[in-house]
Amino acid sequence: MNLLGIDIGGSGIKGAIVDTTNGKLLTGRFRIPTPQPSRSEAVADVVAKIAENFQYSGPAGITFPAIIKNGRVGSAANVDESWIGMDAAGLFSERLGRHVELINDADAAGLAEVTFGAAKGIGGVVILLTLGTGIGSAIFLDGKLLPNSEFGHLKIRGKDAELRASERVREEKNLSLKQWAASLGEFLQELEKLFSPDLFVIGGGISKKADKFLPYLRALTPVEIVSAKMQNEAGIIGAAWLAAQKN
């Protein structure tokens, strides 16, 4: 099936048409900055513009940077707090005039990597981290997702991990990749203690520079670490794939 995937992030909202049989994008990505403040009607308008750009009329998969349960938003770390408790799946379905599957953004990225990418066929415990405005996470056991893990809010020396090791923090503090990798490595060490993972997958836009920082990380943990194969397209692909499973 060829379905629309839309990835809502703290700084940008992007979408593309995806071949859900192989995880390939059939179009270029179309991106619009996330409205500030990121309230529901403004975000829904952008989502509608992305669908209109592709002249698309079928079901869609949409990611959201928050805990998602039965289509409702359960947190708001990097979006407006007015989203909490909202039936976001219903809002987007009504605005687009079609069925929408809504999923946490990192969970969608994880589904893409497990189904088509760096974690395909990997057994045991896999943890994917998406590094951007914050830190998203997804955890799998033998390819099955445990949704809404939110490891980015794990406390590292009294602060949320995403306040120490996100891509935004690296940019704002003008950290070198080596300095930033030390903070990220501290976070991975904590996850290693808690979950004994078999594989870490590092995603988000920073994964394009994986060859420059992965050697630093690999020196800090015995767990295998790889970069996300789908990179910054993983959320779009995972959301579209999920929608295909439901339709």
> Is 115 part of any domain?
no
Task: Write down the pLDDT at residue 78.
Answer: 76
Tell me, yes or no, whether 71 and 28 share the same domain.
yes
Model pLDDT, residue 77: 75
Same domain, 22 and 103: yes
What tokens appear for 184 in the block?
């990220």
In-domain check, residue 112:
no
> In this structure, is residue 116 part of a structural domain?
no
Say yes or no: 128 and 87 in one domain: no
Q: Are residues 240 and 220 in the same domain?
A: no
Q: What is the pLDDT of residues 34-65, one digit of tens each?
A: 999 999 999 999 999 999 999 988 999 999 99
Shared domain for 11 and 102, answered yes or no, is yes
Average confidence (pLDDT) over 217-234 = 94
Please tell me the total count of domains within the chain: 2
211, 210, 153: which is closest to 187 by C-alpha? 153
Clarify whether residues 186 and 204 are in a common domain: yes
In a domain, 240, yes or no: yes
Q: What is the pLDDT of residues 167-216, one digit of tens each?
A: 999 999 999 999 999 999 999 999 999 999 999 999 988 888 999 999 99
Residue 114 lies in a domain: no
Could you list the residue range(s) of the whole structural domain that residue 215 is in? 122-228
| pTM to 2 decimal places | 0.94
- 14: domain CATH number is 3.30.420.40
18 and 92, same domain (yes or no): yes
Specify whether 144 is located in the same domain as 223.
yes
Q: What is the pLDDT of residue 11?
A: 85
Residues 218 and 192 in one domain: yes
pLDDT tens by residue, 60-118: 999 999 999 999 999 987 788 999 999 999 999 999 999 999 999 999 999 999 999 99
The answer to the question of residue 113 being in a domain is no
Residue 15 in domain: yes
Give the mean model confidence (pLDDT) for residues 113-130.
Answer: 97
Whether 161 and 238 share a structural domain: no
One domain, residues 59 and 94: yes
Q: Is residue 210 part of a domain?
A: yes
Q: Are residues 223 and 240 in the same domain?
A: no
